[in-house]
């Protein structure tokens, strides 16, 4: 049987320079993709392999020769003749500051790789002073755009507040939110089309919110968990993970990951079961699946309890 082979539209190859090395990539390749191909590591936070780059976090900035400002590697496309530096003093400075600014205002304790980057760039988030007290729940959500209490600068403002636990399936701990927009994009027109959340407010008071900050069960949320899948910092997590972390029993090293096929319907999505102590503690989905790209529905994501009912009810 002959199988048709779908070929992408041919793309012109262009020559550019990254850190002094020549690279030849198809036209339209981003700087980040070119760096990955060349084996140059570029830190990213808001970049998602299944989403359109938002270039909001600015930790991936690189220096393009002749440009007035630094450019985000995740979204800037390489152009012929472009000369990019990924480790110049300017780049290192901005990356260091981005990490410090985030580290001083957000809880990055569950963000993978960030500790290593902090060390690499010599970031010291503590130098902006002691952290301000977390806000009470609802205070940040009630802030009015374009107004704030100046205070005296003695404590560094943070986005910290108690976690939002308003349903049985997942927890929103916005103390850990770096405002990468990925959950909003995954919930919105890039994947789920539920539009349950948006970025509300402005500036430092911007936050991810349902309409009027209503609880998730009152919102348009369908509990697909695709926001959890893309969250880079652990701000969104399964209730199981949140509770186990709180109890100190979460141990990723003891977990196994098994990718299998969801049994609920005929689509056949891939699910990856994260198992600790013979219990499913989290479900993710492979991003390279050509059909689902890491997305699931509520059944695949959260419908695993029946697997582990062991005669206890």
Partner 1 sequence: MDLRLLDEAATADERDAVDSLLGTPESGWDGGTRQDSDLRYARGGHTARDRRDLLLPALHAVNDRVGWISRGALNHICRRLTVPPAEAYAVASFYAMFALHERPRRVVHLCTDIACAAAGSDGLRERLAARLGPPGTGSGDAPAAWHESPCLGMCERAPAALALQAGAPARFAVAAPATPGGLDALAEGGPGGRGADGDRPSPASDHPTTFHPGPPPGASPEPGPAAAVPDAGSPDHVLLRRIGRVDPLSLDDYRSAGGYAALREALRLGPAGVIREVTDSGLVGRGGAAFPTGRKWNATAQQPDAPHYLVCNADESEPGTFKDRVIMEGDPFSLVEAMTIAGYAIGARTGYLYIRGEYPRALLHLENAVSLARERGLLGPDVMGSGFSFDIEIRRGAGAYICGEETAIFGSIEGQRGEPRTKPPFPVEKGLFGKPTAVNNVETLVNVLPVLLMGGPAYAAVGTAGSTGPKLFCLSGAVRRPGLYELPFGATLGDLVEAAGGPHEGRSLRAVLLGGAAGTFVRPDELDIPLTFEGARAAGASLGSGVVLVLDDTADLPAILARVAAFFRDESCGQCVPCRVGTVRQEESLLRLRSGASPAAEVPLLREVGRAMRDASICGLGQTAWNAVESAIDRLGLYSADDPAAPDPAPGGTATPAPGDRAATEEAR
Among 16, 42, 178, 283, binds partner 1 (CB under 8 A): 178
Cβ-based neighbours of 225, under 8 Å, separated by 6 or more: 169, 170, 238, 283, 296, 298, 301, 302
Region binding partner 1 by CB under 8 A among candidate stretches 32-40, 52-60, 115-123, 294-302: 52-60
Stretch that binds partner 1, among 216-224, 240-248, 256-264, 305-313 (CB under 8 A): 216-224
Provide, rounded to whole angstroms, the least separation between the CB of residue 124 and partner 1.
11
Between 125 and 245, CB nearer to partner 1? 125
- Figure out which of the listed residues 110, 198, 289, 299 binds partner 1, where binding follows CB under 8 A: 198
Tokens of 83: 């000369």
206 contributes a contact to partner 1 by CB under 8 A: yes
Give kind and range of the element (H or E) at residue 256.
Answer: strand 256-261
Which residue bears the tokens 């919102």?
A: 219
Instruction: Closer to partner 1 by CB, 70 or 244: give it.
Output: 70
C-beta of residue 164 within 8 angstroms of C-beta of residue 173: yes
Choose the stretch contacting partner 1; rule: CB under 8 A; options: 1-9, 16-24, 62-70, 112-120: 62-70
CB 287 within 8 A of CB 49: yes
Task: Pick the binder of partner 1 from 41, 49, 168, 211 (CB under 8 A).
Answer: 211
How many residues does this entry show for the chain?
Answer: 313
Which residue stretch of 12-20, 114-122, 127-135, 266-274 sits at the interface with partner 1 (rule: CB under 8 A)? 127-135
Query: CA nearest 81: which of 27, 123, 160, 42?
Result: 27
Which residue carries 């980057």 as its tokens?
Answer: 117
User: Which among 256, 86, 108, 231 has a CA at the least distance from the CA of 172?
Assistant: 231
With CB under 8 A as the contact rule, which of the stretches 4-12, 24-32, 35-43, 209-217 interacts with partner 1?
209-217
Is 150 near partner 1 (CB under 8 A)? yes
Q: Which of 48, 72, 234, 300 binds partner 1 (CB under 8 A)?
A: 72
| Residue 299 contacts partner 1 per CB under 8 A | no
CA angle (206 as vertex; 230, 246 as ends), nearest 5: 55
Closest approach, Cβ 215 to partner 1, in A, equals 11
- Cα–Cα distance, 200 to 209 (Å, whole number): 6
8 A C-beta contact, residue 281 and residue 275: yes
- What is the contact surface with partner 1 in residues (CB under 8 A)? 55-59, 61, 68-70, 72, 75, 90, 93-94, 96-98, 101-102, 104-105, 127-129, 142, 144-148, 150-154, 156-157, 178-179, 188, 193, 195-206, 209-212, 214, 218-220
């Amino acid at each position: 049987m002959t199988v048709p082979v779908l070929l992408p539209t041919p793309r012109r190859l262009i020559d550019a320079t990254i850190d002094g090395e020549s690279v030849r990539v198809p036209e339209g390749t981003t700087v980040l993709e070119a760096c990955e191909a060349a084996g140059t590591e570029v830190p990213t936070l808001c970049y998602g392999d299944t989403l359109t780059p938002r270039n909001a976090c600015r930790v991936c900035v690189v220096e393009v020769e002749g440009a007035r400002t630094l450019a985000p590697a995740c979204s800037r496309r390489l152009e012929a003749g472009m000369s990019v530096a990924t480790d110049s003093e300017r780049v290192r400075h901005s990356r260091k500051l981005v990490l410090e600014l985030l580290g001083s205002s957000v809880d990055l304790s569950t963000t993978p790789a960030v500790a290593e980057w902090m060390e690499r760039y010599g970031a010291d988030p503590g130098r902006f002073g002691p952290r301000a007290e977390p806000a009470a729940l609802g205070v940040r959500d009630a802030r009015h755009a374009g107004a704030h209490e100046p205070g005296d600068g003695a404590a560094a403002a943070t986005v910290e507040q108690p976690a939002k636990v308003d349903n049985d399936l997942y927890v929103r701990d916005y103390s850990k939110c770096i405002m990468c927009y990925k959950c909003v994009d995954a919930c919105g027109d890039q994947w789920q089309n539920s539009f349950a959340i948006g970025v509300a407010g402005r500036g430092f008071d911007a936050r991810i919110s349902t309409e009027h900050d209503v609880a998730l069960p009152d919102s348009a949320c369908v509990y697909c968990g695709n926001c959890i899948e893309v969250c880079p910092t652990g701000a969104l997590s399964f209730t199981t993970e949140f509770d186990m972390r709180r109890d100190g029993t979460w141990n990723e090293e003891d977990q196994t990951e098994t990718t299998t096929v969801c049994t609920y319907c005929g689509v056949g999505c891939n699910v990856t079961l994260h198992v600790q102590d013979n219990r499913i503690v989290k479900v993710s989905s492979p991003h390279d699946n050509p059909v689902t790209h890491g997305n699931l529905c509520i059944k695949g994501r959260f419908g695993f309890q029946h697997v582990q009912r062991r005669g206890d009810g």
